[in-house]
Amino acid sequence: MSSTITPATHRASFVIGSEASAKHVVDFLTESFVEGEAAIAAFERPDGIWDVTVHFADAPDQAAIRKLVGLTAGDHVAQSIIFDTVEARDWVKATLADLVPVPAGRFTVHGQHDRARVPPNRLGIEIEAALAFGTGHHGTTRGCLLLLDQVLKAWYPRRVLDLGTGTGVLAIAATKALHRSVLASDIDAAAVRVARDNSRLNQTGNLVQVIRATGFSAPQFAGRSPFDLVLANILANPLRQLAGPMARHLAPSALVILSGLLTPQAAGVIAAYRARGLVPLRHIRIDGWSSLLLRKAR
């Protein structure tokens, strides 16, 4: 992976208490700046509070920024804004330094720089930091791998789907453990490319079929279903919406591993799948994120 030096930027950061408030502020700020003048991002923390960050190429007028935020979020939030400077940095090098090998059951997710650190009794999955989600270091990916390891100790599913594959880490893990083909899909074209590249890197390219698809709309699903095991590390809302279509593509007694949801969202996801005949078997919580194992009733 080549070195990528990013120039120094100026940053304004603050927290806000709800998704609706964060979206309102972000929309207002986006409309207030000339295109390219600022980059705005908002992320939900495990405790439900939202972090909002605005990056500027040039030092901003701090009083003007506080005034803009105050118009939508109130003076208390405006006065809490922290302004600082992000120094120039090789972000790829810094990211790789932080990505130590991550064990999850029999699996170890690692980067190229740590290939030699994988124990001989582990199944190594080499994933480089990329645009697609899922390096193994996030609690959702690790939770899915732990559940997958548990499932495969007692069962040998024939038809496996990795829905919303991201970097392909779960599909690659299933293929390495089962030595059989796995269907993987993602709505994002960049993720499809990354998953295919990672599959070739891990020498599973002949067994992992990666397709671009929204939900279960692609014709490949009809040809490969009903599935015995589905892995879906996405987000809570899409998971709830997919409960019905997924249930229709499952074999009797099929297992489903779901993640990408904050722990407070787990009950709603479980309820959506229980209504489609799936019962929860296990719930793993890691760093405020939940991973679920469910079984379809006969």
Question: Could you tell me the domains of the chain?
Answer: 5-91 (3.30.70.100), 99-296 (3.40.50.150)
The model's pLDDT over 167-223, given as tens digits with 9 standing for 90+, comes to 899 999 999 999 999 999 999 898 899 899 999 999 998 999 999 999 998 988 988
Asked if 252 and 224 count as a contact pair (C-beta separation under 8 A), the reply is no
Question: Which residues neighbour 157 within 8 Å (Cβ) at sequence distance 6 or greater?
Answer: 151, 178, 227, 228, 229, 254, 255
- Higher pLDDT residue, 298 or 81? 81
- Which pLDDT band holds residue 91 (cuts at 50, 70, 90)? very low
The model's pLDDT over 135-166, given as tens digits with 9 standing for 90+, comes to 455 678 889 999 999 999 989 999 999 999 98
3-state secondary structure 48-106: CCEEEEEEECCCCCHHHHHHHHHHHHCHHHHHCCEEEEECCEEHHHHHHHHCCCEEECC
Mean of pLDDT over the chain = 86
The model's pLDDT over 228-287, given as tens digits with 9 standing for 90+, comes to 999 999 989 899 999 999 999 999 999 999 998 888 899 999 999 999 999 999 999 988
Asked if 139 and 133 count as a contact pair (C-beta separation under 8 A), the reply is no
pLDDT at 3: 41
User: To which residue do tokens 């899909």 refer?
Assistant: 185
pLDDT at 137: 52
